[in-house]
Amino acid sequence: MRMERSSELFEAFLKCPTKCWLQSRGEACEGNAYAQWVKGQNESYRAEGMRRLQATVPEGDRVIAPATENLKGAKWRLAVDVVVQAPAPASSSSVSLPERTAGGIPGLGQPEDEKPALRPQPDPWMLASRLHAVERVAPEGRGKPTQFIPIRFIYRNKLTRDDRLLVAFDALVLSESLGRDTSLAKISHGDDHATLMVKTAGLLGEVRKLAVKMAEMLAGDSPPDIVLNRHCGECEFREQCRQKAFEKDDLSLLANMTAKERKKFRNKGIFTVTQLSYTFRPRRRPKRMRAKRDKYYHSLKALAIREKKVHIVGNPELKIEGTLVYLDVEGLPDRDFYYLVGIRVGNGESAVQHSFWADTVADEGRLWRQFLAILETAENPVVLHYGSFEKTFWRRMCQRHGEPPVGSKPAKAIDSAINLVSFAYAQIYFPTYSNQLKEIAS
């Protein structure tokens, strides 16, 4: 049986092996509004990008969905919607998979000399990709080969390494299909349809290794272990994965725990949050260390969750002298555009709330000046915020629209602003899996 590994599966594998597995099995998903929005954005941006690109090439020099049997003999300059496939490259087609035992685990409980030998896959697996576009560049001199450059459209303004790996995957499939190197690829992205040239030579080795790992995983009968990660928030399988993680009481529920730390705990036989909670042991700190903040204890976080209690380490004290100014900023990180500043000045019944909106990038300067004006009118303002997003906001606003005068109330308030996340970290352990404000507030 020939197994195709499409670029869609490869893209999913870069984000999460479990997502790749579920997609390959055609699993139904409960949906995710954000995931659907992203999908729609990508599709509309790709269609618009293909239309714009075709408009730059005479009609006789462009084709749609050409046959790929003889790409080398093509005469067109631009092709869109090109489906290519090829056997896996030689470096990965020799992947060996272990014989399966009756129990599904190779060699378990068998003497060394009786364990089954590794065998090659009986049939080659295929690489496949649906290229958004391919540019054909005629050779500059006699004896030089024609160059084929895959093009991918991505709606986001900011690109990630995964985007480069994905277009390198396109280049790899095209290269194997043509039987020649594809050293360049292009990414058209963002509001301005900027073009990034990607040299694929430095990425192909990593792409091949990742493709082999994906093939080995998908060739198996059991799914990979569910590990919640940052991609979960935009994944269509979020709810079912999270439900399974809760059923298993999996360590990946603890948002602050890294993969390296999870592996370390699992090597010790600790696989669940409940198990981890029983490992916490309060320790008396030496006098010379009491002035310093203690390290973060995942086990104490697990204990807080199991007991449903807030645990406090030491005697954290937050001294505030002045007028409280609670700050919350909303923006589009992909565009570095901030559209809303929410401010609450004072406490209790005397508190006053303000909301400043920016409909366009041009309105951002006005929003910034309104914020500074509020700080100017407050008596000894003390800014409180939750997380580093607000800190990034005022740093960029100072760069774009000017800093407040040195020594002014706004300047002092910004310089001495208090991040409540940093204050609570390793000192206050809430019975929540993360320190996200919405989760703690609930």
Placement of tokens 């300047």 in the chain: 411
Q: For 143-175, what is each residue's pLDDT tens digit? A: 788 899 999 999 999 999 999 999 999 999 999
Question: Is the pLDDT at 93 greater than 60, yes or no?
Answer: no
Distance CA 149, CA 136 (A): 6
Residue type for position 231: H
pTM of the entire structure?
0.82
What residue spans define the domains of the chain?
4-91+121-227, 231-312, 323-424
Distance CA 285, CA 405 (A): 44
Distance CA 317, CA 297 (A): 20
| Residue 289, pLDDT score | 65
CB 113 within 8 A of CB 100: no
Q: For 167-203, what is each residue's pLDDT tens digit? A: 999 999 999 888 888 999 999 999 999 999 999 999 9
CATH dotted code for 323-424: 3.30.420.10
Q: Which of 139-143, 255-259, 367-371, 406-410 has the lowest mean pLDDT?
A: 139-143
3-class secondary-structure state, position 138: coil
Q: Give the mean pLDDT of 6-14.
A: 92
Distance CA 197, CA 191 (A): 17
Distance CA 384, CA 414 (A): 10
Please give the backbone phi and psi of residue 242, each rounded to the nearest 5 degrees, phi first.
-65, -40
Q: For 312-336, what is each residue's pLDDT tens digit? A: 998 888 888 999 999 999 999 888 8
223: CB partners within 8 A, 6+ apart:
18, 21, 22
CATH dotted code for 4-91+121-227: 3.90.320
Q: Identify the helix (H) or strand (E) that includes residue 352.
A: strand 352-357
Q: Identify the helix (H) or strand (E) that includes residue 163.
A: helix 161-178
CB 228 within 8 A of CB 253: yes
The neighbour count for residue 162, using CB atoms within 10 Å, is 12
Q: For 38-92, what is each residue's pLDDT tens digit? A: 999 999 999 999 999 999 999 999 999 988 777 778 889 999 999 998 876 554 4
71: CB partners within 8 A, 6+ apart:
84, 148, 177, 178
